[in-house]
Amino acid sequence: MTENRPTQPTTDRGNARLIAILLAIGLPLAVLLSVEPGLDRWATGLFYDSERGFVASYTEPWITLRKLLKVAGVGLALVLLASVAHRVLRRSYLWVLDWRAIAYIIAVIALGPGLIVNGVLKEHWGRARPSHTVDFGGAKTYSPPLVIADQCDGNCSFVSGDAAWGFAFVTFGFLGRTRRQRLVGFAGGLAFGTTMGLLRIAQGGHYLSDIFYSGLITVGLAWLLYDLLIRRGWLDRWAAPKGDSERTGPRPAA
């Protein structure tokens, strides 16, 4: 049976345009969030009640919604395993999930939400969560997003781990064969990360800037690793499973 290996897109113009659009929107917003701390407090204040606190943090359906959204991570793992099983049993992969795609997705998740976000930033940046600051009923001091602080000892506010996990789904956009698949992948990943982020803001767990920089880091890493591992063929240079060493189509020009 002919192996159903995904081909590379014939051009990277679509991905490049998307990155250009995101940068055009993201860079001004990054500057704004850095120089105007009132924007962080204003966004969080929309979900805060002086008498009841952050209602979404202890009421339904918000608690269950967060749990359901996190289940998507288990679903992604099952999809990856299903593609590997299909390769073993039927000699073909599912959708675009060949060994390169699987390695790429795992690399993005491990380095982005795993190492950079949860392993480094959240443990060492020291930014207190909104619900722990004096602005919203706590005792800690608000810290600007890009300033290392001493208001938290671990599992801190900067940046959002939940949102980073959601934004990691943009990997499917980079891997899409067609324009439609890429649009669905990018839109789905951005929507998922944004939804997770808004929920965490509503629960007093994060500021708007935590969500924004979480997306910037994760999407930026997804783009970088796609360029290196897939488009430039680093994975093929390192090792290819037996029977997967041949490509189906030319590698796109740089």
CA distances from residue 96 to 4, 32, 188 in whole angstroms, order as listed:
9, 38, 16
How many CB atoms are located within 10 Å of the residue 183 CB? 14
Rounded percentage of the chain residues whose pLDDT exceeds 90: 54
d(CA 21, CA 19): 5
Contact of 172 with 188, CB cutoff 8 Å: yes
Sign of the dihedral through C-alpha 126, 195, 198, 33: positive
Confidence of residue 246 (pLDDT cuts 50, 70, 90): very low
**Whether pLDDT at 99 is above 90:** no
Q: Are residues 160 and 210 in contact, defined by beta-carbon separation less than 8 angstroms? A: yes
- Give the integer Cα–Cα distance in Å for 145 and 33: 8
CATH topology of domain 13-238: Vanadium-containing Chloroperoxidase; domain 1 (1.20.144)
Q: Where along the chain do its domains lie?
A: 13-238
**Selection from 44, 80, 95, 85 nearest residue 202 by Cα:** 44
pLDDT digits (tens, 9 = 90+) for 181-198: 888 999 999 999 999 999
pLDDT over 60 (residue 7):
no
- Give the dihedral sign, CA 89/91/93/94: negative
User: Is 209:40 a contact under the CB 8 Å cutoff?
Assistant: yes
- Higher per-residue pLDDT: 156 or 251: 156
pLDDT tens digits along 127-142: 999 999 999 999 999 9
| pLDDT number for residue 94 | 65
Q: Is 137 left (phi over 0), alpha (psi -120 to 50) or beta?
A: left
